[in-house]
Amino acid sequence: MMMPAFAGICFVAEPMIELFEQELLEKIDNYVETASDDELFASGYLRGHISLCAADCEEQGIEGKTDFIRMINESLENAKNELSPADYIIVKRELDKLLIS
């Protein structure tokens, strides 16, 4: 999406999904040094889901943050059988923490 040019400068707006993905991944990166083992496991697991969902949004032409969040939650729910029940709770809790902060 092109933004209006001002004094010969043209601004290109980054898609909202891409910005939100970057924000979530930066939050993960920022607490790596102080995170517990459970938080590190969950953040690594979530990183893949977040990036995959962002790519899916781009491919499908989805631009809304709400839809992106819904896709992340659905992706995690669909992969629930990959995790033990205790690990799923840890990952879900970390996702909720990321989305709230």
Cα dihedral 77, 79, 80, 81 sign:
positive
| Residue-wise pLDDT tens digits, 5-49 | 445 554 434 478 999 999 999 999 988 888 999 999 999 999 999
For residue 42, give the nearest of 96, 100, 81 by alpha carbon: 96
Tens digits of per-residue pLDDT, 70-92? 999 999 999 999 999 999 999 99
Q: Rounded CA gap, 17 and 14, in Å?
A: 8
DSSP string, 17-67: HHHHHHHHHHHHHHTTTT--HHHHHHHHHHHHHHHHHHHHHHHHT---HHH
* pTM (2 d.p.): 0.79
**What is the 8-class DSSP label of residue 7?**
T
